[in-house]
Structure 1
Amino acid sequence: MKVKALLPFATILLTSLAGCGSPTQKSMQANDGSVRIVENPDGPLYICDLKTVKDTIDVPLSELVEDCRIVRFETSDEAMFKAWWIQVSDNYICIRQESDVVKLYDKDGKFLCNVGAMGHGPGEYALTTYDEVIDEQRGHIFLTPFYGKKIMMYGLDGKWIKDINLPGQINKAKIEINADGTLSVIHMPFQEGAPFAFRVDTDGNILDKVPASPYMLASNFDGEIFSYRNTGTFDFFYTGVDTTYTYDTKANRLIPRFTMNFPGLGEKPYHIYTELPNHVITNYYTWVDGQFIPGGTVLVDKQKMSSTQFRLVNDFYGNLPVSNPNIHFNKGWFMFNIEPGALSEMIETHLTSGKCPDKDKAKLKELAGSLHENDNNLMFVGKLKR
């Protein structure tokens, strides 16, 4: 997939994480020269240069989240799942599955209901949905199709309420609830004149829109839109453009927030940005013989104006490694979903690695002893620090 640059200096980095280690004594130094700012009327644009990023360190999860607990999902036939994506709200957990029905649980993992169903009828979806948002205040769940001319609206009982019919097709759309109950939408536009971002009410009336510029147009479905929304804004990274943005619905415009340069790598690597309240995680990969090879994982601290290659370790649970950290932060929450058998193997390996602090060994042994391979998944979950 070709990535188009929006800004001359725009390039990015993404990273896949594997392995772990006990937290090193090194920490990120302030103002290390790897991060700079371009001041704009709408706020600062942060730019990081990969060639100046410091050596790898272990970053404890407690630097990013307030706490961490374990959710044990109910083990019953209807509650079992294979997660493709997870969204957590204050009182609910929503599981999106690949080519299967969306499931809703309470915050402690008790199965509540299926949200809609697979199929072609009212309230049903034939393909995997692409995004979901829980509106606890008004008692709704919204799902977007992989592509189509509607947003699907359900109650918290999983029952279909209606389709919000749209005047044009949306492709791989991401959605967010606004304070007034309207929905903000971003998607991959294929045609000139189509909006890239817009705001719509629950009757399908388009209230505001940002037209797609030529460089935003997609020719196929190869691209992706990543929108983790950890910052309290509708932030996103569209792979067809080399910068993260916020969709400011009040001003009805896109605000650039972060980009990265990749000097010395030849062809620009495939990459993903994940914004956190005070940090940006970048994963980057190279394409070798038909597969993506992890290149690195970078953490940018926007307060310290510094960056480092890093490994994330869960210091709430004996410094257990957290692979691929970018995918475990969504809507202001840390989530690490794992099968009990896999967690048992991880704990066994970690306890024999010499990287688990002595004070945490008993806790991990107790956790491992409580796991049963035929049970439903577990999830480590914690609220992000602001």
Structure 2
Amino acid sequence: MKNKKQMRVFSLLMGVALLAGCNGAGKKATDGLADYPMVNSLAGQSVVGSVEVMDGDSVWVCDFSKLKDTVTLPLSAIAEEFQVVKLDNSDEALVPAGGVLVSDNYILVYGRQQTPFKLFDKFGRFLANIGSFGQGPGEYQLVYDAQIDEASERIYILPWNAKALLAYDLKGQYVQSIPLPTLVPKGKFKVDSKNSTLSVFILPFNNLLYAAWRQDFQGNLLDTIPGRHLAVRPDFSNEVFSNKVNGKFDVSLFTFFELRPDTLYHFEEGRLNPRFTVDFEMKEIPIHFYQELPHCFVGDVTVKKQVSENSYVTEAPSCYIMDKKTLKGAFYRLVNDYLGDMPAYLTVNGDYYILNMEPAKLKDALEKHLEIKTNLSSKERERLQKLADSIHENDNNYILYAKLR
């Protein structure tokens, strides 16, 4: 007979398997991980999880109670080829602080202000405005997700509460609208241009038919995933996350009020494949979210505190990491060792660590770090001081990025 611990994990995995169909081939727990070099920061840590096979899917399960120590995780352990790119300073090229996508040859910057997406090359040279801000055909306002598809020379934009996915060429010209079968309150998507298909995962409000679907460019449905246990109340404080690392369409939910165990999935071939979950072993599930990187899973937990009848605040999140191959893990604090171990926060999209910084904030962060960090080598101090001195408050924003290992 299973003990309580086994029963808890079994119940958790049964929950993540509810949406998994029967058309997936079996996978080994360590597929694709044999050549992974262990992150040195976790070498002395304990095993904090396991890999369970459910309906042919390998599901990584982190036991939150086993996370004990806090390690310093250098950015170089998970990303390489770090770059600091100053964007073109022309008036037309000016960008707000906001979202960034980096591809093999391009940088795409966007924000919540009334400015269009702006496309740059990898050297920061301005190339084009992508479409325009507005409510007319081919125009957009608030945007929830976007994709650069260099193979088809297209940029795709999915607005908030969208009825269509908008497509543009790399010169910024509107090309087409791909109709969606339902209103998308907050959606993440992935275009397969080779097969002219589109996969969408939305904030699964309980009054909507689907949590996810796959369709063609004419709007015809190919596969659908009902909301079932993923469904949430219509509340826009919830979010959908997807990093799309290594070409995978990973999806997970962030719920602020409806706190519950949840799972990170891969949406592939019309099927949600469970990938990662956490066994919190708590009476009250904390606010949490997960991310998948090529060789590890990371996440954070946050404690919510009510300060009035309708107001809440949250404490600073506790971040953790679990290695896919060794299953070792710990809480971590990220430092950018490319910038003298400057404190950093993990922001990932596609195959890159990315940060969009206003010049004054970047300069201030560098100067404060130089003041606090007294054990920098003279060479490193000189390099960082030179970078700080080169930044002027009237510059356009700076994009910091590094390719994930």
- Identify whether the pair has TM-score above 0.5, normalized to the shorter chain: yes
CA distance in 1, matches of 2:84, 2:321: 25
> What is the TM-score of this pair, normalised by structure 1?
0.87
- Cα 1:162–1:48 change in 2 (3 A) is same
The CA deviation at 1:371 is 0.9
CA distance in 2, matches of 1:248, 1:239: 21
The CA deviation at 1:124 is 1.1
Q: Which residue does 2:290 correspond to in 1?
A: 273
Does the 8 Å CA contact 1:313/1:319 hold for their aligned counterparts?
Answer: yes
State percent identity of aligned pairs.
Answer: 34
The CA deviation at 1:355 is 4.8
1:318 counterpart (340, 364, 372): 340
- Cα 1:26–1:358 change in 2 (3 A) is farther
Runs of 5+ unmatched residues, structure 1: 12-24
Q: Which amino acid in structure 1 is aligned with residue 222 of structure 2?
A: L
Q: Does 1:107 align with 2:125?
A: no
The CA deviation at 1:31 is 7.3
Does the 8 Å CA contact 1:35/1:48 hold for their aligned counterparts?
Answer: yes
The CA deviation at 1:83 is 2.8
> What is the TM-score of this pair, normalised by structure 2?
0.83
1:92-131 aligned at under 5 Å gives the runs: 92-100=106-114, 101-125=116-140, 127-131=141-145
Q: Which residue does 2:370 correspond to in 1?
A: 351
Pick 1 or 2: higher relative contact order, CA cutoff 8 A, min separation 6. 1
The CA deviation at 1:356 is 3.1
- Cα 1:357–1:209 change in 2 (3 A) is farther
2:212 counterpart (178, 194, 197): 197
The CA deviation at 1:130 is 0.7
CA distance in 1, matches of 2:170, 2:137: 17
Q: Secondary structure at the match of 2:65?
A: helix
Larger deviation: 341-350 or 129-138?
341-350
CA distance in 1, matches of 2:318, 2:232: 29
- Cα 1:224–1:99 change in 2 (3 A) is same
1:306 counterpart (328, 335, 341): 328
The CA deviation at 1:93 is 1.2
- 1:213-233 alpha-carbon deviations (Å, 9 max, x no partner): 254254232321000111431
Q: Which amino acid in structure 2 is aligned with residue 237 of structure 1?
A: S
CA distance in 2, matches of 1:95, 1:226: 18
Q: Which residue does 2:169 correspond to in 1?
A: 155
Q: Which amino acid in structure 2 is aligned with residue 166 of structure 1?
A: L
Q: Which residue does 1:258 correspond to in 2?
A: 276
Q: Which amino acid in structure 2 is aligned with residue 381 of structure 1?
A: Y
- How large is the Cα RMSD of the aligned pairs? 2.4
1:242 counterpart (251, 262, 266): 262
Larger deviation: 39-48 or 274-283?
39-48
- Cα 1:26–1:112 change in 2 (3 A) is closer
- Cα 1:299–1:359 change in 2 (3 A) is farther
The CA deviation at 1:197 is 1.6
Q: Which amino acid in structure 1 is aligned with residue 404 of structure 2?
A: L
